[in-house]
């Protein structure tokens, strides 16, 4: 229907816009019809050509639309990848900052350790000196104790020698020991206990009075 409309429009244009029919056309109406038919054929060819061009343009528009849609999808995917890369970059930068802070802390600790090292060596040297001094003092104490024990042994030997050389001292020593056995409350050198009351109980291991009387005192003539 559209083709016929275009044909009538073309015919109307040719009839109205074209030159007025010549005398030959009026004398030969068939020639005028032939020319009109040729014009109609040209118009139909032009319409077919334009239609094919229109279809070609529509196909190109379709392809361009699809390409544009694919480009938009690719751009969106690229944007997502870009955002992901940006996030990874931010995370890596945060880790780098954290590593830098840790590195700075480690450097400060190393510097502090280097500053404390001479003081540590000095304290260690002082500790070693104190340890050696303490060991020397301990050795001197042990030597003094051994010398004291030796001195006490010599004092005991000297006392025994003096006791054997002095009969009176032997008698006093024996009487004191006897009183301790017979009268535990008495620590003096007299023959009887101090104070009033009965004599104290004899200690374990001491001899009885009868045994004492039967025993000869081995200290000269003293009784």
pLDDT (tens digit per residue) in 160-207: 776 666 677 667 777 777 776 665 554 544 444 444 444 444 444 455
> How confident is the model over 116-134, as a mean pLDDT?
80
Is residue 183 classed exposed, middle or buried when 0-12, 13-18 and 19+ CB atoms within 10 A define those classes?
buried
131 or 63, which is more confident: 63
Residue 110 and residue 32 in one domain? yes
CA–CA distance, 22 with 38 (Å, rounded to integer): 18
Considering only residues 32 and 6, tell me which one the structure prediction assigns the higher pLDDT. 32
State whether 135 and 79 are in the same domain.
yes
25 by Cβ neighbours in 10 Å (0-12 / 13-18 / 19+) ranks as middle
- Do 35 and 142 lie in one domain? The reply is yes
Q: Are residues 176 and 141 in the same domain?
A: no
Q: What is the pLDDT of residues 11-67, one digit of tens each?
A: 555 555 444 445 445 455 555 788 888 888 888 888 888 888 899 899 999 999 999
Output the pLDDT for position 219. 43
Domain tally, the chain: 2
Q: Is 22 among the domain residues?
A: no
pLDDT the model gives residue 198: 45
Residue at 209 is within a domain: yes
Listed ranges 125-129, 155-159, 193-197, 217-221; the one with the highest mean pLDDT = 125-129
pLDDT for 65 equals: 92
Residues 140 and 170 in one domain: no
Do 180 and 139 reside in the same domain of the chain? no
Asked if residue 116 is part of any domain, the answer here is yes
In a domain, 54, yes or no: yes
Q: Which residue segment(s) compose the domain that 185 sits in?
A: 166-214
DSSP H/E element including 204:
none
Residue 184 near residue 203, CB atoms below 8 Å: yes
Q: Give the residue with greater pLDDT, 171 vs 110.
A: 110
For residues 123-147, average pLDDT: 82
Same domain, 40 and 123: yes
Q: What is the pTM of this model?
A: 0.32
Render pLDDT for 66-101 as a digit per residue (tens, 0 to 9): 999 999 998 898 889 888 988 998 999 898 888 888
Check if the beta carbon of residue 7 is closer than 8 Å to that of residue 40.
Answer: yes
pLDDT of 4 higher than 60? no
Task: Answer yes or no: do 118 and 193 share one domain.
Answer: no
What are the start-end ranges of the H helices in the chain?
Answer: 2-17, 23-27, 29-165, 167-182, 209-214
The reply to whether 51 falls in a domain is yes
């Amino acid at each position: 229907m559209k083709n016929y409309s275009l044909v009538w429009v073309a015919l109307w244009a040719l009839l109205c816009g074209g030159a007025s029919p010549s005398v030959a056309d009026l004398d030969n109406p068939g020639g005028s019809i032939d020319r009109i038919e040729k014009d109609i054929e040209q118009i139909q060819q032009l319409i077919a050509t334009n239609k094919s061009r229109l279809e070609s343009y529509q196909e190109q528009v379709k392809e361009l639309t699809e390409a544009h849609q694919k480009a938009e999808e690719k751009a969106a995917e690229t944007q997502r990848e870009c955002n992901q890369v940006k996030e990874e970059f931010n995370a890596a930068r945060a880790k780098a900052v954290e590593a830098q802070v840790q590195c700075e802390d480690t450097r400060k600790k190393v510097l502090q350790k280097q500053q404390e090292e001479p003081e540590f060596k000095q304290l260690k040297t002082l500790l070693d000196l104190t340890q050696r001094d303490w060991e020397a003092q301990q050795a001197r104490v042990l030597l003094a104790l051994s010398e004291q024990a030796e001195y006490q042994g010599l004092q005991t030997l000297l006392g025994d020698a003096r006791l054997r050389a002095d009969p009176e001292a032997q008698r006093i020593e024996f009487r004191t020991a006897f009183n301790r056995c017979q009268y535990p409350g008495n620590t003096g050198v007299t023959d009887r206990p101090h104070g009033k009351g009965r004599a104290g109980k004899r200690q374990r291991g001491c001899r009885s009075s009868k045994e004492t009387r039967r025993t000869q005192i081995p200290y000269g003539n003293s009784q």
